[in-house]
Structure 1
């Protein structure tokens, strides 16, 4: 009976998430390109002096779709110019196939330098992407048997995208709705397991989302973000109006 209840609850959760994604797709599609560019510039200017970013040596940055989210090009370039080790998402087939695990998973792969970043080609969604033929030569965070010197590799800061965000009225937690594939949640769970296996406890990585102001649901009338047991909590949210929200700041 409990299995049936669990499956029913998960189906309801997934349906609620999909409904909000559909509503947000329309909302984000109406944002003028000039507004998204302006907000992206504001987020970049905030990050340049933001302590978690300034102090991070190893940073993961999502690479943006052409519209509907914060553009991270300036952030990637600044991080490389600042001498940080910069990692970007790489999607690949799960090396541990199982009916209970996703078929495709995400790793973080290091960019060599600015020229390497500029050489990335857009995928079918317009997102700059790593050439799979070069992955075996690169440092990766999780990796596999072919990985280049990544046994000890962890991250200090992960800058994540999202579709919608809100603040839990009960706990003050910042809740994130992703695109529905679970790439970041599964990656972070595996990252924590790796840190534990290295004797470091749970990974001390900081998790901050970057979002257009319109992506934050500020009142129940705008909707709320449904969360499940595998959804990762954020350390903070940097908005396109320059606002930085943390769980402590909303208590």
Structure 2
């Protein structure tokens, strides 16, 4: 596990340097390409309950247009909310991520940036919102399951062994832990199909050849159902298994 952690951190450091060279204009252009691909992408178009990450000011795909489109299309839009993990265990993260629902476009536009510049939910309003997990004050949490999760990441690649799409996160384990909990909840409620997981990435975040490195993964790392890149391309694990 120590060697896995070191390999992940090494790749994060390398990707930080690579992403630091991307201009704001280039990132905006790639974000537009991702949005234009996504808005006609069947899994997204048909999804009724969508989770979308809210972006840092730089270094990743900007999701503002996606959030607006999802809200204006009548989808139920959920965004990340970090809180203290109610389950205390050395094997679990001290903080956990839930997904809470935006009420409408005005609600989204009223979000204030946190210290990283990410628009964030006011903790004082969380008890008023529908969310996936939460506590006894969560509204309809027993019925809240997602259709698709649009995920950020630091780096992505395709496994040469089995064709799965691998994701390197920022190292906190928030998404992997959330997805494991969501899958368990879905199983207990006997609801199908399972939630779809799609990464959104700048083209520079995709490691297209072994010379660029590879994404190290452990048993808790969740493979993705697909990846949409800043050049408009959609990477699919099924396509790559058949090549």
With the shorter chain as reference, the TM-score category is: over 0.9
Partner of 1:106: 97
User: CA offsets per residue over residues 74-93 of structure 1, 9 Å max, x none?
Assistant: 00000000000000000000
Whole-angstrom CA distance in 2 between matches of 1:135 and 1:231: 28
How many residue pairs get matched? 241
1:12-51 superposed matches below 5 A = 12-51=3-42
User: CA offsets per residue over residues 184-218 of structure 1, 9 Å max, x none?
Assistant: 000000001111221237x6110000000000011
Partner of 1:94: 85
Partner of 1:149: 140
Partner of 1:166: 157
Partner of 2:237: 247
Deviation of the 1:233 alpha carbon: 0.8
Q: What secondary structure does 2:107 align onto?
A: helix
4+ residue runs of structure 1 moved beyond 4 angstroms? none
- Decide which of 230, 237, 243 is 2:220's aligned counterpart: 230
Partner of 1:75: 66
The CA RMSD measured in Å over matched residues stands at 0.9
1:176 and 2:167 correspond: yes
What TM-score does the superposition give when structure 2 sets the normalisation length? 0.98
Q: What secondary structure does 2:98 align onto?
A: strand
Whole-angstrom CA distance in 2 between matches of 1:212 and 1:184: 19
- Decide which of 190, 193, 200 is 2:184's aligned counterpart: 193
Deviates more, 1:77-86 or 1:140-149: 140-149
Unaligned segments of structure 1, at least 5 residues: 1-9
1:218 and 2:217 correspond: no
Q: What secondary structure does 1:179 align onto?
A: coil
Whole-angstrom CA distance in 1 between matches of 2:8 and 2:170: 9
